[in-house]
Amino acid sequence: MTGASGDGKEYRVRGREEVLDETERKSSEILDLMKVKARVTKPGAGVMGCSGSQDERTYRGWHPWSIWDVSVEELNEVMERLRRSLPKAGWAIVKDGHDNTPAKSEQILAESRKDGFAVDIRLRDRRQHKKTSIISVTVNSLCYRFK
């Protein structure tokens, strides 16, 4: 079922809990592909508005999380592992390079077009600032309309 929004776009109608559960499953899939024993942030998935939409009934699943408490060398290995394993798991890597921040963090952007998800993965090497280095992950779903 689809529904027209106030901005003229058609969005598939889906329940919030269904989208949240699916977003968390995709996040778990990414964590499994990392194959690393590390600390992981706890907060679960949430919803946020769709950029460019004027309709408050449109939303997308969103799950930001990070891993840390492992060496930068191990984090680099995780990024290499993701480069190999994401395509095998149905994710198309659309960017593999550095982000546009002053730190020029290593970044992988990938899409699971079949499932309607995108992921932004960044290795944040903070050693020069005497801070803990991390890999941050943000999983986003397509935009939907609330039931």
pLDDT tens digits, residue range 51-61? 887 788 999 99
Interatomic CA distance for residues 15 and 20, integer angstroms: 9
Domain boundary assignment for the chain: 25-44+61-142
Collect the ranges in the chain with pLDDT lower than 70: 1-8, 127-130
- pTM beyond 0.85: the answer is yes
- pLDDT confidence of residue 5: 47
Structure token digits, residue 80: 């290499």
Question: Which of 40, 53, 44 lies closest to 16, judged by CA?
Answer: 44
Q: Are the beta carbons of 43 and 27 closer than 8 angstroms?
A: no
Q: Is CATH 1.10.3470 what the domain over 25-44+61-142 is classified as, yes or no?
A: no
